[in-house]
Amino acid sequence: MATYIHERSGWPHLRWDQPRLVGRLAAVRHHQGRLLGWMDALGFDLRREATLATLAEEVIKSGEIEGERLDRDQVRSSLARRLGMDIGALTPADRHVEGIVEMMLDATQNFDRPLTAERLFGWHAALFPTGRSGLRKIAVGAWRSDAIEVVSGPVGHERVHYEAPDARRLDGEMAAFIVWFNQDDPGDPVVKAAVAHLWFVTIHPFEDGNGRIARALADLLLARSEAMSQRFYSMSAQIREERKAYYDILEATQKGDLDITAWLEWFLGCLDRAFYGAETILSVVLTKARFWDRHRGQSFNERQRLVINRLLDGFEGKLTNAKYTKLTKCSSDTALRDIDDLVRRDVLSKDPAGGRSTRYSLLV
């Protein structure tokens, strides 16, 4: 039977080999500074657009890590409304999406507020507004009261990856974590973000949602490390790309001793790769800005502007008359007139196939 890190003598006093981290941490901080400098030069509107795109990616990918697929339009609409941004017609978001967005915005926009048990309970309640995880009823806005295991595999052949601390320990465990989280730390706040992520998921204080809250806590500390609420990279998007390695290093660390150097090295490497991944998100924002700058002075009706922005934001597949009709809730004839007008103005190009299957591409 495995001995877990929280069962070791000396827990929760985690330790690491600081000299091993120096080079990697310096590279991360350098790339972080370059990215923030680049974004600072873009101007207010583009930074807001980049923040919207990044936070949407963060919310969506954090859900995907847990096997959950969220509607991108709902996420963007919820974020835009809360950020006070006009992105055209807003897609109504369900309570679950609204709750996840609320948690993420509280973590990243209010990064300088102290962490409390009540704040964590509020995040948890926002994640599970119906009091259920799938079909299963769970305790919401409270520490779990039962034992919990992280398992995989078919029934009868399950593999136990991790066993969390006994529920009777949770008040003390979380009190110690919160005190540490709120302390001014002489070390680097990026390292603190990595430690907080591991420490929280090791305690596993809730019945469900621990991974998403741990990633939100890391985002809060990363925002604190930059002293800014605008977000230009998504750690969750990068973790999603490296999901197997993420779970493997978590399991190995939680079954190891109190030396978490290997976890910190992985986290810093993943964060560094997230900075490079930000270029993909930001290229969409820059393409969108260049498009509207090129067409400055041209008049588009509300339907056309809505569809163009959807295409610029990463519309799945090609545009058709039927999709235009559905997006704008107009008639097929109106859609065709709008599309023909955009083709004449070299905003859209008609793909070779004609008839009912005619597809259109945005000229960027």
pLDDT given at position 285: 79
CA distances from 198 to 110, 165, 203, 280 (A): 22, 14, 9, 28
Regarding predicted confidence, which is higher, 357 or 322?
A: 322
Q: Which of 152-156, 196-200, 215-219, 360-364 has the lowest mean pLDDT?
A: 152-156
345, 352 Cβ separation under 8 angstroms: no
Residues in the chain: 364
pLDDT given at position 292: 84
Q: Measure the CA–CA gap between 178 and 114, rounded to whole angstroms.
A: 9
Mean pLDDT to the nearest integer, 262-274: 97
Residue 88 pLDDT > 90: no
Helix 210-226 vs helix 189-203: crossing angle, to nearest 10: 170
**% of the chain at pLDDT higher than 70:** 98
Tokens of 57: 């990616």
What lies within 8 Å, CB to CB, of 36 at 6+ separation is 226, 228, 232
C-alpha 44 chain-centroid distance: 22
pLDDT given at position 221: 96
Domain-wise residue ranges, the chain: 5-288, 302-362
C-alpha 131 chain-centroid distance: 22
Q: Measure the CA–CA gap between 18 and 187, rounded to whole angstroms.
A: 10
Torsion of CA 211, 216, 219, 224, to 10 degrees: -130
- Please, which pLDDT band fits residue 1 given cuts at 50, 70 and 90? low
pTM confidence score: 0.84
5-17 tens-digit pLDDT: 999 999 999 999 9
For domain 302-362, say whether CATH 1.10.10.10 is its number: yes
Q: Which of 289-293, 300-304, 328-332 has the lowest mean pLDDT?
A: 289-293
99, 132 Cβ separation under 8 angstroms: no
Give the residue among 216, 210, 248, 241 at the shortest CA–CA distance from 231. 216
Residue 171 pLDDT > 90: yes
Instruction: Name the amino acid, one letter, at 2.
Output: A
Beta bridge partners of 361: 349
Instruction: Name the amino acid, one letter, at 96.
Output: H
The CATH number assigned to the domain with range 5-288 reads: 1.10.3290.10
Tokens of 31: 């790339």
Residue 39 pLDDT > 90: no
213, 200 Cβ separation under 8 angstroms: yes
91, 74 Cβ separation under 8 angstroms: yes
What lies within 8 Å, CB to CB, of 266 at 6+ separation is 245, 246, 249
Q: Measure the CA–CA gap between 320 and 355, rounded to whole angstroms.
A: 11
| Beta-sheet strands, E only, within the chain | 132-133, 136-137, 149-152, 159-163, 348-350, 360-362
pLDDT given at position 40: 82
220-264 tens-digit pLDDT: 999 999 999 988 999 999 999 999 999 999 999 999 999 999 999
268, 190 Cβ separation under 8 angstroms: yes
Q: Which of 164-168, 185-189, 268-272 has the lowest mean pLDDT?
A: 185-189
Angle at 338 between CA 334 and CA 339, to 5 degrees: 115
C-alpha 52 chain-centroid distance: 11
pLDDT given at position 356: 61
Q: What is the DSSP letter of 156?
A: T
265, 23 Cβ separation under 8 angstroms: no
Residue 145 pLDDT > 80: yes
pLDDT given at position 182: 97
Q: Measure the CA–CA gap between 325 and 99, rounded to whole angstroms.
A: 30
What lies within 8 Å, CB to CB, of 285 at 6+ separation is 46, 49, 50, 53
